[in-house]
Chain A
Amino acid sequence: MKTLPPGVTEAQTLTDDVEVGCDVCIIGSGPGGAVAAAVLAQGGKSVVVVDEGGYFTRARFRQREDESYPYLYQDGAQRTTKDLAITIMQGKAIGGGSVVNWTTCFRTPDDVVDRWKLKHGVKDVDVEALKPHFAWAEQRLAITKTPLELVNKNNRTVYDGSKALGHDVDTTNRNVLGCAQTGNCGHGCPIDAKQSMLVTCIPDAIKAGAAVVSRCKVVRVSFEAGRAVAVHARAKDAFGLADTGVAITIKPRVVIVAGGAINSPAVLLRSNAPDPHGTLGRRTFLHPVVASVGVFKERIEGWRGAPQSVAGHHNAHRGEEVGWFLEAGPIHPMLASLALPGFGQDHARGMAQLANLAAHLAITIDGHHDDVVGGRVTVNGDGDPVLDYPIVERQWRAFRDAQKTMAQVAFAAGATEVWTGHDPTLILKSPDDLAKIDGLPWAPCKVGVFSAHQMGGCGMSDDPKLGVVRSQDGRHHQIDNLHVIDGSLFPTSVGVNPQLSIYGLAHLLSTRLLASLAA
Chain B
Amino acid sequence: MERRSFLKVGLAGTALVVVGGAAALGLRAGDRSVKPLRPLFVLSEGAFPVAVAVAARALRETTANPVEIAHRIDSALRFAPRQSQKDLDAVFGLLENGLMGLLLRGSSTPFTLLDAAGQDRALGAWRDSSVAALRGAYHALRKLCLAAHYAAADSFAQVGYPGPSLIKTVPPDIAARAPLAVTEPTAEGMP
Which A residues are closer than 8 A to B by beta carbons?
10, 12-15, 54, 56, 59-60, 62-67, 69-71, 75-78, 80, 82-85, 87, 182-184, 190-191, 235, 237-242, 244-246, 303, 332-334, 336-338, 343-345, 347-349, 351-352, 354-355, 380-382, 384, 386, 423-424, 443-446, 448
Contacts and interface: CB of A to CB of B under 8 A. Distances in A.
Given A71-B189, A77-B147, 12 more contacts: A12-B181, A56-B191, A67-B190, A76-B78, A84-B139, A184-B164, A239-B185, A241-B186, A334-B146, A334-B150, A338-B147, A352-B158
Interface of B: 3, 7, 57-62, 76-84, 120, 123, 127, 132-133, 135-140, 142-143, 145-147, 149-153, 155-156, 158-166, 168, 171, 174-175, 177-182, 185-187, 189-191
B156 A85 contact: no
Given A65-B151, A332-B161, A78 B76 contact: yes
B166 A182 contact: yes
Given A66-B151, A443-B132, A445-B136, A423 B127 contact: yes
A397 to B, nearest CB: 19
Given A59-B171, A334-B151, A348 B182 contact: no
29 contacts: A10-B178, A13-B178, A54-B190, A62-B166, A66-B153, A67-B189, A69-B151, A70-B187, A71-B190, A76-B76, A78-B84, A83-B133, A182-B165, A182-B166, A238-B180, A238-B182, A246-B181, A303-B162, A333-B159, A338-B146, A343-B123, A344-B58, A344-B59, A344-B61, A347-B61, A354-B159, A355-B161, A380-B83, A445-B138
**Interface of chain B: mostly helix, strand, loop or mixed:** helix
Contacts of A334: 146-147, 150-151
Which residue, A78, A235, A244, A423, has most C-beta atoms of chain B within 10 A? A78
Contacts of A240: 79
A198 to B, nearest CB: 14
Contact of B61 (A66, A338, A345): A345
A244 B182 contact: yes
Which residue, B80, B81, B177, B185, has most C-beta atoms of chain A within 10 A? B81
Contact of B189 (A64, A424, A448): A64
A63 B162 CA distance: 11
Contacts of B136: 83-85, 444-445
B147 A60 contact: no
Contact of B146 (A76, A237, A337, A355): A337
